[in-house]
């Protein structure tokens, strides 16, 4: 699941950590869109 777009990698990573909270297992990715914004992607196991 991807949630929003952010101006910096750090903003996206912090939002990702917050979104994941106490998630016991899963995978995440922080990446840059072709538009220059950053996003995160989370897959819960």
Tens-place pLDDT, residues 19-29: 888 777 778 99
Residue with tokens 């939002």: 15
Phi, psi angles (nearest 5°) of residue 26: 165, 180
Contact between 9 and 32 (Cβ < 8 Å): yes
Which regions of the chain are under pLDDT 50? none
Number of H helices and E strands in the chain, helices first, is: 1, 2
Look up the pTM and report it. Answer: 0.79
Give residues with Cβ within 8 angstroms of 26, minimum separation 6.
20, 42, 43, 44, 45
């Amino acid at each position: 699941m991807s949630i929003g777009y952010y101006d910096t990698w750090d903003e996206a990573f912090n939002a990702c950590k917050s979104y994941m909270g106490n998630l016991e297992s899963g995978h995440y990715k922080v990446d840059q869109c072709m538009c220059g914004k950053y996003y995160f992607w989370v897959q819960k196991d």
